[in-house]
Amino acid sequence: MNFECLLEELLIARGPGGQEDEVRTVCLRELGRWGDTVETDRAGNVLGVVRAPGNVEPQSAIRVMAHLDEIAMIVKRVRADGHLEVVALGGAQPVSFGVCPVDILGDQEVLPGVLSYGSMHNSGSTPSGRDVLSGDVQWKDVYVVTRKSKQELERVGVRPGSRVVLSQHWRRPFRVQDCIAAHFLNDRAPLVAVIEAARLLQQNRERLKQDVWFVCTTLEEESNAGALYAASRLPGDTTIAVEVGPVLEEYDTSLSAHPIINTGDQKDYYSRSVVQALMAATIRAGYEPQSALLVDFASDASAVLSTGVDALAGCIAIPTENTHGFEMVLSEGISACAATLVEYLIHPSTDKVCTTDQEGKPRER
């Protein structure tokens, strides 16, 4: 698979929570190539399944989830002068975007705009001016310049609730040595890894002992609603989230190809047996697992586990610099994640455990 062509297509596709249509279309096409069946459920999730040969217990199925949506903005108010007041959609902060071009997704038309904090040439005489000068910009200081009247905006369906996203003008990836840099690698890079895992699994399906559902979920950044809907209706009691993982000193994680195996986050601690199995799978795939307790983090899998929908859950993450900003991942990080997923899905049990050798490196026994 040409990772970079598919990744660029997904990065350019706009996918704010609740309006992920452009990303969904790409995932339907690609999962349709490798899944035995593919469909969209009533919540907007993309569901693809690779079935194990023979008669297997449906409840033994494993669900693998990566999300369609991105951090974005939503219109709170349309001012009389046509400026838009916006608030975060998902875990966005003004610093995530900076002053930049945006696309305003009206009901009838996509309009260009500019995200603005106001001029830096101000005396600090207003609260918003003081925030800008101090670098402490908050959503109350932010607005979108449209150069349209309120009436013109109403005619094309721009209103409170309309989504505002980073313009396609600024979405193309940027190569930095062995890394790809771009906005919205969260969660486009994991989507590529999931699609590649489906391809590899289809080639190795005779080794499968259970069905595998690949679920591209909606609304992860806001509420995990898509994951909760899918998990409550699909067979199986184990969910694996595929995510980006923060590269930070506090987590002892590095920007490398070696997958991060999340042991817990702000919503729940992941199932110990699944964590062990993912670490063993990482080693079988030829990589060293980076285990981390990601305190300021959450995933579809931890949401499903914490609400009691699932019995077991885990999370594998591609190491990522600048999460929820201009993110960076290694190309090999995507393929390493896919290879590890396949190893886990073929052998999800924990009869092979992770130990260390004399140099302190993990190994399997």
Per the prediction, the chain carries an average pLDDT of 93
pLDDT of residue 231 exceeding 80: yes
Rg (CA), the chain: 21
361/77: higher pLDDT: 77
Give the bridge partners for 63, in sequence order: 213, 239
Q: What pLDDT, in 10s, does the model give residues 11-48?
A: 999 999 999 999 999 999 999 999 999 999 999 999 99
Question: Which CATH architecture is the domain 74-169 placed in?
Answer: Beta Barrel (2.40)
Residue 286 DSSP one-character state? T
CA angle, 312 then 200 then 342, to 5°: 30
- Residue 97 identity (one-letter amino acid): F
φ, ψ for residue 234, nearest 5 deg: -85, 155
Q: Is 0.85 topped by the overall pTM? A: yes
Query: Do residues 190 and 336 touch, judged by C-beta distance below 8 A?
Result: no
Query: Do residues 13 and 24 touch, judged by C-beta distance below 8 A?
Result: no
- In whole angstroms, give the CA distance from residue 243 to residue 317: 4
- In whole angstroms, give the CA distance from residue 152 to residue 150: 6
Q: What pLDDT, in 10s, does the model give residues 271-295?
A: 999 999 999 999 999 999 999 999 9
Q: Given this model, what pLDDT does residue 1 score? A: 55
Q: Where are the domains of the chain?
A: 3-70+184-364, 74-169
Q: Which residues of 241-272 are buried (b: 16+ CB within 10 A; e: fewer)?
A: bbbbbbbeeebebebbbbbbbbbbbebbebbe
Pull the structure tokens for residue 64. 């693998």
Give the bridge partners for 87, in sequence order: 74
Class (C level, CATH) for 3-70+184-364: alpha beta
Pull the structure tokens for residue 85. 């007041």
Going by C-alpha positions, the residue among 251, 243, 338, 345 that lies closest to residue 300 is: 243
- In whole angstroms, give the CA distance from residue 90 to residue 119: 26
Beta-strand relationship, 100-105 and 62-67: unpaired
pLDDT of residue 361 exceeding 80: no
Q: What pLDDT, in 10s, does the model give residues 135-172?
A: 888 999 999 999 999 999 999 999 999 999 999 999 99
Following DSSP, what letter does each residue of 224-281 receive, concatenated?
-HHHHHHHTTSS-SEEEEEEEEE--GGGT--SSSSPEEEEE-SS-BPPHHHHHHHHHH
Q: What pLDDT, in 10s, does the model give residues 301-319?
A: 999 999 999 999 999 999 9
Query: Do residues 87 and 72 touch, judged by C-beta distance below 8 A?
Result: no
